[in-house]
Amino acid sequence: MKTKILFVLLFINCLGHSQEDGSLVKWLSFKEAQEKNKTIPRPFIIDIYTDWCGWCKHMMKTTYANPVIAEYINTYFYPVKFNAEGKDTIEYDGKKYFPTSPLPKTTHELAIKFLGTQFSYPSTILAGNNLQFNILAQGYLDEKKIEPLLIFMVENVFQTNIYDDFSQQYNRAYVDTAFAKKAIRTYTIMEALALQRKQPKKLLVNIYANFCNSCKVMNRTTFVDTLVADYIEKNFYLVNFDAESSDTIIFNNEKCFKQVINNYPFNSFVTKITNGHLTFPSIVILDENLSTINVLNSFQHPKNLKPVLQFFGGNYYKNQKWEDFYKQYQVKK
């Protein structure tokens, strides 16, 4: 019931900002977005359209009229609408761009920068990392297609993964859930610590939070993938740990509990084992003595996680550099 109430409030809030084109997104000019970005950095989402493009108008009335999608964009992005055939001079990322001709239906210089020679409308640019990273999606995007793109940018998945890999995992998590997978045993931290005392093994601690969408994707796909599941079960105790847990945990003779950390209510266990470098999602590898030997502060595709698991699970890290191990791993593949 509470969820329904929140959704209704969200819907009403968005309706209050409905525009003539049907969109609930609060569109900005390039100038407005870049000024705001100086104070509070966010990724940009740039809708590239033309006046004659029917699918552009349809996307405004459907995808951008979805109250949940619109609210997510309004909260985490600076959204910009850009007419690819407009006649304004536009300054973007420190450079000025001009219309190529005063004639109608001629492409703006900035559209050429974004699209190259593939002038397809609508097109969507997502720009992050202070506008230095761009991803281009061409054609009409419905809700299912735009959702993974938004998460990919907002949760900084782009810093360590290519989009096709994340999109594949997102699809497996929510659409094609029949992909090849293996059931794998997971433990609470207290269960794992008790087992570890009887039969020492390394711990693989998967740290997530309910507000983290890429965490949910990883939880549903990565660890159960047949590429890594058997190796994890053989060499690790896999622990799924909610960073917002209210449990009191005794870890290495220290009491860990929920407290405000950097203005967020997290369990101090997660900051302890990540050595104070917590992002979401995070995977922590603890050795048989419960010392942290590695922290992966990013979304992990199983093909990228596999060599890391072997490097630490097989104890290669004790006498070999990661770079040398990975070269050998690539040759053996």
229: domain CATH number is: 3.40.30.10
Q: Return the pLDDT at 19.
A: 66
Domains held by the chain: number: 2
Q: Return the pLDDT at 178.
A: 87
Q: Are residues 7 and 66 in the same domain?
A: yes
Q: Tell me: the pLDDT tens digits for 195-226?
A: 999 999 999 999 999 999 999 999 999 999 99
Q: Does residue 11 carry a pLDDT above 70?
A: no
Q: Are residues 150 and 193 in the same domain?
A: no
Residue 66 maps to a domain:
yes
Q: Are residues 95 and 225 in the same domain?
A: no
Q: Are residues 7 and 147 in the same domain?
A: yes
Q: Does residue 14 carry a pLDDT above 80?
A: no
Residue 159 maps to a domain:
no
Q: What is the value of pTM for the model shown? A: 0.90
Q: Are residues 195 and 149 in the same domain?
A: no
Q: Does residue 7 carry a pLDDT above 90?
A: no
Q: Are residues 150 and 195 in the same domain?
A: no
Q: Are residues 86 and 129 in the same domain?
A: yes
Q: Return the pLDDT at 16.
A: 46
Domain end, chosen from 111, 130, 154, is at 154
Residue 237 maps to a domain:
yes
Structure tokens that stand for 68 in this block: 């949940």
Structure tokens that stand for 305 in this block: 């996680």
Q: Are residues 145 and 6 in the same domain?
A: yes
Q: Does residue 158 carry a pLDDT above 80?
A: yes
Domain that holds residue 94: 2-154
Domain end, chosen from 133, 154, 175, is at 154
Averaged pLDDT, 18-23: 77
Averaged pLDDT, 261-284: 95
Domain end, chosen from 99, 131, 154, is at 154
Q: Are residues 114 and 221 in the same domain?
A: no
pLDDT band of residue 3 (cuts 50, 70, 90) is very low
Averaged pLDDT, 148-174: 97
Please tell me which residue, 20 or 151, carries the higher pLDDT value.
Answer: 151
Q: Return the pLDDT at 15.
A: 46
| SS3 annotation, the chain | CHHHHHHHHHHHHHHCCCCCCCCCCCCECHHHHHHHHHHCCCCEEEEEECCCCHHHHHHHHCHHHCHHHHHHHHHHCEEEEEECCCCCCEEECCEEECECCCCCCCCEHHHHHHHCCCCCCCEEEEEECCCCEEEEEECCCCHHHHHHHHHHHHCCHHHCCCHHHHHHHHHHHHCCCCCCECCCCCECHHHHHHHHHHCCCEEEEEEECCCCHHHHHHHHHCCCECCCHHHHHHHEEEEEEECCCCCCEEECCEEECEEEECCEEEEHHHHHHCCCCCCCCEEEEECCCCCEEEEECCCCCHHHHHHHHHHHHCCHHHCCCHHHHHHHHHHHC
Q: Are residues 129 and 223 in the same domain?
A: no
Residue 241 maps to a domain:
yes
Residue 295 maps to a domain:
yes
Q: Return the pLDDT at 262.
A: 83
Residue 160 maps to a domain:
no
Residue 225 maps to a domain:
yes
Residue 183 maps to a domain:
no
Q: Return the pLDDT at 49.
A: 99
Q: Are residues 56 and 199 in the same domain?
A: no
Q: Are residues 141 and 26 in the same domain?
A: yes
Q: Return the pLDDT at 134.
A: 96
CA atoms of 201 and 192, how far apart (whole Å): 9
Q: Return the pLDDT at 18.
A: 53
